[in-house]
Amino acid sequence: MGRGQTDAEFGRVALLTLFLMGTVSCCMVYLGVSLVFKTSSTTISSLTSLVEDGGHGLRNNTKEVKCCKGIEHLELWGDAVKWGADFKVNSSEECCMACKDMCRGADGSCLCNSWVFCGDREACGPRCGECWLKRQKDVLNPEHKGSGDHVMWTSGLVFGKSVGIVGLKTEYGILRVQLLPDCAPRSVAYILELLTVHHCVGCHIYRAESRGSFWDSEGSHIENAPFGPPFALIQGTLEAHGYLFKEIPTEFCPLLRRGSVAWVGSGPEFFISLANHDEWRKAYTTFGFVLPEDMEIAEKIAQLPTKTERWGNIDVSVLEKPVPLQFQRINSSH
């Protein structure tokens, strides 16, 4: 017997109801993540993940990050260790991986620490596919040949073991941050620019939320515990006075681990996660992580005196006295 019209209408209504319930549910998750953070002018909405990390994480976890990116319309200079005229590949990712493959030293050093690729067939012409593998004399201050829409090259950096660590100096100690240029190249480029500024006037931490009793000392969430407040993070800004900040597009958005350093929205607001925040999904661009042995400094800052402020409908803990930040180089033997 065929289904009557009433049954069909009921089915359509049921499907519509389920769709609306799903939409409302997604919106609630979005809203929940959005309200946890706020910049000086507005509440930041969550971002869409662009990169699947193949696991949970950053390099201080059990799995290596699986990404290899560069910046379009940028040409890095430097001594060639492999000439592009004799070495062509199909994509910038392949060129990046070829550079990474030269990080084979027993001490973790890299013969190649930068790469340049030409992938625009129209602009590159017969040079399309060229992959130049290079070595910077100072990878934390790479030599630029040119940038802008007129530049046909895509370039990126590769850091060897113990290379690419910068210090966030505070009055409570130095937070050493391992940068991720192969996953968040534009973010890292901005940090390296700040490194040359030295003073970074205006950079500071202004919000401190401890782990409370909701996350253990390893960052794991306690079963059946709420997800805040407190929200297990410290938050600040990396906008230096007198330095023009340009919004950074979404880059690498893995699940946040304890020690993750990520932007709020497109920056310059940022935060350091004190716990594993799976509940925030893959919503924030991560450009580095604090070395595990330095997390006690972040924990110390999270225990400083605070006052409560209302951001939207969320109570947050704002430091009574912001903590100034200053970038500094961390010496490496590689």
Residues 17-28 have pLDDT tens digits of 544 544 444 444
- Quick one: average pLDDT of 255-278? 96
Q: Which fold has domain 38-60+164-329?
A: Cyclophilin (2.40.100)
Burial degree of 117 (CB within 10 A; 0-12, 13-18, 19+): buried
The pLDDT of residue 160: 86
pLDDT at 106 over 90: no
Closest CA to 100 of 159, 142, 144, 140: 159
Residue bearing the bigger pLDDT, 29 or 116: 116
What are 71-104's pLDDT values in tens digits?
Answer: 999 999 999 999 999 999 999 999 999 999 998 8
* pLDDT at residue 199 greater than cutoff 60: yes
- Token pair listed for 47: 């971002």
31-55 pLDDT, tens digit each: 444 446 654 433 322 322 222 232 2
What percent of the chain is modeled with pLDDT above 70?
79
**CA separation (Å) from 179 to 59, 187, 280?**
10, 9, 22
**Domain map (residue ranges) of the chain:** 38-60+164-329, 71-157
> Which residue has 């370039």 as its token pair?
155
**Residue whose tokens read 């073991």:** 161
pTM above 0.85, yes or no: no
Q: Is residue 56 packed enough to be buried (19+ CB in 10 Å), middle (13-18) or exposed (0-12)?
A: middle
Residue 332 confidence (pLDDT):
63
For domain 71-157, the CATH superfamily is: Hepatocyte Growth Factor (3.50.4.10)
Sign of CA dihedral 291, 198, 286, 74: negative
**The two structure tokens encoding residue 64:** 């290596």
Res 283 pLDDT > 50: yes
Percent of the chain scoring above 90 in pLDDT: 70
- pLDDT at residue 57, rounded to an integer: 36
pLDDT tens figures, 113-135: 999 999 999 999 999 999 999 99
